[in-house]
Structure 1
Amino acid sequence: MEKTAETPTETTWDLILDLLLQAEKFVLGLLRPWNAYQVLIALGVLILAHLAAKVLAPRFQAWMRTRDGWPMWRMRFLVLIHRRMRLIMFVLLIWPVIWFMRDWTWPSRSYLLGIIGQLAVAWLVIAIATRLINNNLLRMLVRYSGWVWVTLSILSLTDDAISLLDSFAFNIGETRISLWLTLQAVAMLAVLMAGARFLSGSASTTIKKNTDISPSMQVLAIKFLQVVLYGAAFFIGLRAVGVDLTGLAVLSGAIGVGLGFGLQKVVSNLVSGIIILLDKSIKPGDVISLGETFGWIQSLGARYVSVVTRDGKEYLIPNEDLITGQVVNWSHSNDFVRLDIFFGTAYEDDPHKVRAIAIAAANSVSRVLSFKPPVCHIVGFGDSSVDYILRFWIQDPTAGLTNIRGDVFLALWDAFKENGISIPFPQREVKVLPGSELRTRSDEDTDKTAS
């Protein structure tokens, strides 16, 4: 008779039973005298490590508080040591015991202690290395996965575990996707993404410190570097676990066509953001006005520009609006800005004297530039006043425009009051023509009452 091939389900159950049998043998082995006392020794070392951590942790924390001026990464490393003080003390105490046991007893009398010592070191290294991952969920996932994998490796159960995980699989065309392949991909991508994040962060700090690079080019370089590093980490991670990227390229092309129609605005904003960074029309720190929005550019994003106004509101303006709309950049080529204010005086006042007083009043304001002197011109003869325009220059538009206009108006008011210059207001003259009768509202009310 021919032997029938085992189905994947039967193979999976065989692997599970095999792992359970090995676990049972391991637990029963702990009940042997020479293994039981090794467990007791490990528990004793753990108690000593706990007591040592209780004594050293407060002193270490007090020493950390005296480290003023240390870099942030170094302080975070010290905080990690403080939190893992118990595990560190356990590693430092368990290995001298293991070395002593190996020199003075048979290897079997320290075999279990050796496994415990290797697990402690591996768990400590993984706990420190995973601090490079900023995302809490991803860091916890990688940490516990690493602990499980290292434990299986030290216990020589990796082959059985891989076979078990690989038995849970399904096929998509000619591609076989298993649980083991998925875990490999996730772990590889997590490590590479963490490395890419660390490299991009370090490079961003270096680029921002370079004063020879303009702020807009700094943002562009940082964004480009992030795209390259994260993209390379993604594709290298998939290739490392054996994923065929040919089918992924075809699929991404089809998805890209669909997204191109559905995300036109998003793509337009992305392209507009790149154009803004390349032509350097605006950069972080510039003062711009777009419509009714006037404020400082805080940051340039991939989709929008963050503009903070003087009242503390933060507007997220799409990049496309900055490309297609009319934007006033008050600090594009230089910081010099000319402002105009309008006022009027009575016809009885001498225009020559008014112009001189207005120029002197503007010069009395500290923010008005003296080397670009103010000028005052008559712009028209109004119904009740002679109309003037006063023009002056400032060099600090980031300090506000409304407030400097208010200061100049206030200086004009004081100067006109001191010199007897009057600011007229509209007046209307009513004439009663011969033969007409002037009636007031009280007269009309009297007539209604009499009737």
Structure 2
Amino acid sequence: METEEEPFAAALMSVDEIWFLFTSFLESVITPGWRQNQVLIVLGLAVLCYFLHIVSGRVIENQVRAREGWSKWQLRMIVQIKRRMGLVWFALLAGGLYLFMQQITWPSRSYFIGLSATLAIVWTGIAYAARLVRNRFLRRLVTWGLWIYATLYFVGVSDEVSEFLDDLALDVGDFHLSLLTLITAAVVIGVFFTVARLVSSTTASSIRKNEDISPSMQVLAVKAVQITLYGFAFFMGVKAVGIDLTGLAVLSGAIGVGLGFGLQKVVSNLVSGVIILLDKSIKPGDVISLGETFGWINSLGARYVSVVTRDGKEYLIPNEDLITSQVVNWSHSNEFVRLDIFFGTSYGCDPHQVRKLAIEAAADVDRVLAHPKLPVCHIVGFGDSSVDYILRFWISDPTGGLTNIRGNVYLALWDAFEAHNISIPFPQREVRMLTDEQDIVRDGT
């Protein structure tokens, strides 16, 4: 029967084995001979590659500064190459020296140099491949995890270290959670997440290029694909390392109930976002008004909608507000928008001429539609000092702004009225100055 001391004793044995290997290597390095010579050669190559890293980095930087028109992805790639130039130089020089020494001397006299070259090549490949992971923390975790595993594997102590990490575990009944399992799970999930991101990016690009799918359904399809792929990647990563999730079902259900009460608003916004995408009430590019906010929809998120106004401000409006509040969608069923302008002229001006001039002036303004919806002008009342009119015209590009087109039409009216002597009246007040005698008469004294 296995006792409690046995796992601890096994861990001590693994530690002793690792320590023995480490001390044996140090003794062989201290002792004069070919192994010590190889270590000195590797250290010399490392110092040389450090200086080559500085020089080549300056050359690359000068070359990049001398050229213009680099895209962002090209600049990022150049930066990553510049950062790893020391490792690249070491892989090239150590690999070349190893091949040379294999030809002129015994293979055992260049084993450590070949091992260093192999590790440098593997580390370089891992460093560049890990750039596919966007999350910085996860990228560093994957990079260092693969670096450490590759080093232990090529050194030949991976089995001993794996046994040691597996012995550092939490055992509750049949549940076994070791440090090795956690590290493996983090690395595997990171790899699966990277693959899921690449697949989702490719799929999203194909969906956005499909003109048969509406913009709102494109957003919904992209979100569904991302959730499915990332969820599949997480569960596959967990299952790949042997973690049984059935025991967490009851606990996750209890946590879900608690989160349901605490995250009602978040869930409401998520559901509202799905409803918005399904009923196609708004979509990216639509011009909407919500309260005092007027702008066009930049993007649809899982929790909020990004609305950009004409002054460059970006409002993040919760999806629930778009469901429960009155929203004006200027381009929901079509892109035609009617605008109204009110003005007045004096009673001495011919109203028939005024209406004709107003329609012609509006029709000559850019962005005002002349077909199929023509501008119209009507009398709406007789004011105290003017005949009041309303000028109605249509535009098909509300994203270009509403205030600016109104201003252009007002300027066109002003120019047309000035050219034809049409006066625009304004309220006038008469001020009478009373003398002292008139004040006395008014007072009755």
Give TM-score scaled by structure 1 length: 0.85
Output aligned runs, 1:273-288, within 5 Å: 273-288=273-288
Give the superposition deviation at 1:101.
Answer: 3.2
**1:338-371 deviations in Å (ceiling 9; x for gaps):** 1112223344443323322322332332332222
Which residue does 1:434 correspond to in 2? Answer: none
Letter aligned with residue 320 of structure 1: E
> Secondary structure of the equivalent of 2:288?
strand
Q: Is the 8 A contact 2:141 2:186 kept in 1?
A: no
Q: Structure 1's 414 and 439: CA in aligned 2 closer, same or farther, altered over 3 A?
A: farther
Output aligned runs, 1:74-93, within 5 Å: 76-93=76-93
Give the superposition deviation at 1:278.
Answer: 2.5
Q: Is the 8 A contact 2:185 2:238 kept in 1?
A: yes
Q: Structure 1's 74 and 198: CA in aligned 2 closer, same or farther, altered over 3 A?
A: farther
- What CA RMSD, in Å, does the superposition of the two structures yield over aligned residues? 3.2
1:120 equivalent in alignment to 2:108? no
Which residue does 1:204 correspond to in 2? Answer: 204
**1:4-45 deviations in Å (ceiling 9; x for gaps):** 762544443443333222211111111231211111222343
Output aligned runs, 1:172-191, within 5 Å: 172-191=172-191
1:377 equivalent in alignment to 2:378? yes
Which residue does 1:21 correspond to in 2? Answer: 20
Distance (whole Å) between structure 2 residues aligned to residue 229 and residue 377 of structure 1 = 59
Distance (whole Å) between structure 2 residues aligned to residue 114 and residue 82 of structure 1 = 24
Letter aligned with residue 25 of structure 1: S
Report the count of equivalent residues.
437
1:391 equivalent in alignment to 2:395? no
Which residue does 1:332 correspond to in 2? Answer: 332
> Secondary structure of the equivalent of 1:110?
helix
Letter aligned with residue 408 of structure 1: V
Output aligned runs, 1:334-353, within 5 Å: 334-353=334-353
Distance (whole Å) between structure 2 residues aligned to residue 209 and residue 389 of structure 1 = 44
Q: Structure 1's 358 and 55: CA in aligned 2 closer, same or farther, altered over 3 A?
A: closer
**1:87-108 deviations in Å (ceiling 9; x for gaps):** 2222222223323433443343
Distance (whole Å) between structure 1 residues aligned to residue 185 and residue 2 of structure 2 = 36
Give the superposition deviation at 1:427.
Answer: 6.5
Give the superposition deviation at 1:310.
Answer: 1.0
Q: Is the 8 A contact 2:269 2:302 kept in 1?
A: yes
Distance (whole Å) between structure 2 residues aligned to residue 216 and residue 174 of structure 1 = 48
Which residue does 1:140 correspond to in 2? Answer: 140
Give the superposition deviation at 1:247.
Answer: 2.5
Q: Structure 1's 116 and 419: CA in aligned 2 closer, same or farther, altered over 3 A?
A: closer
Give the superposition deviation at 1:258.
Answer: 2.4
Q: Is the 8 A contact 2:141 2:187 kept in 1?
A: no
> Secondary structure of the equivalent of 1:121?
helix
Q: Structure 1's 22 and 283: CA in aligned 2 closer, same or farther, altered over 3 A?
A: same
Output aligned runs, 1:7-86, within 5 Å: 8-32=7-31, 33-50=33-50, 52-53=52-53, 56-60=56-60, 73=73, 76-86=76-86
Which residue does 1:402 correspond to in 2? Answer: 403
Distance (whole Å) between structure 2 residues aligned to residue 428 and residue 57 of structure 1 = 79
Give the superposition deviation at 1:166.
Answer: 1.8
The more displaced of 234-243 and 274-283 is: 274-283
Give the superposition deviation at 1:213.
Answer: 3.9
Distance (whole Å) between structure 1 residues aligned to residue 410 and residue 64 of structure 2 = 56
Distance (whole Å) between structure 2 residues aligned to residue 37 and residue 224 of structure 1 = 59
Q: Is the 8 A contact 2:95 2:118 kept in 1?
A: no
Give TM-score scaled by structure 2 length: 0.86
> Secondary structure of the equivalent of 1:217?
helix
Give the superposition deviation at 1:73.
Answer: 4.9
Give the superposition deviation at 1:235.
Answer: 0.5
**1:212-238 deviations in Å (ceiling 9; x for gaps):** 543323322221221111111100000
Percent sequence identity over matched residues?
Answer: 58
Distance (whole Å) between structure 2 residues aligned to residue 23 and residue 117 of structure 1 = 20
Distance (whole Å) between structure 1 residues aligned to residue 65 and residue 203 of structure 2 = 29
> Secondary structure of the equivalent of 1:134?
coil
Distance (whole Å) between structure 1 residues aligned to residue 413 and residue 169 of structure 2 = 84
The more displaced of 59-68 and 255-264 is: 59-68
Q: Structure 1's 173 and 345: CA in aligned 2 closer, same or farther, altered over 3 A?
A: farther
The more displaced of 386-395 and 63-72 is: 63-72
Distance (whole Å) between structure 2 residues aligned to residue 427 and residue 65 of structure 1 = 67
> Secondary structure of the equivalent of 1:332?
coil
Q: Is the 8 A contact 2:339 2:393 kept in 1?
A: yes
> Secondary structure of the equivalent of 1:297?
strand
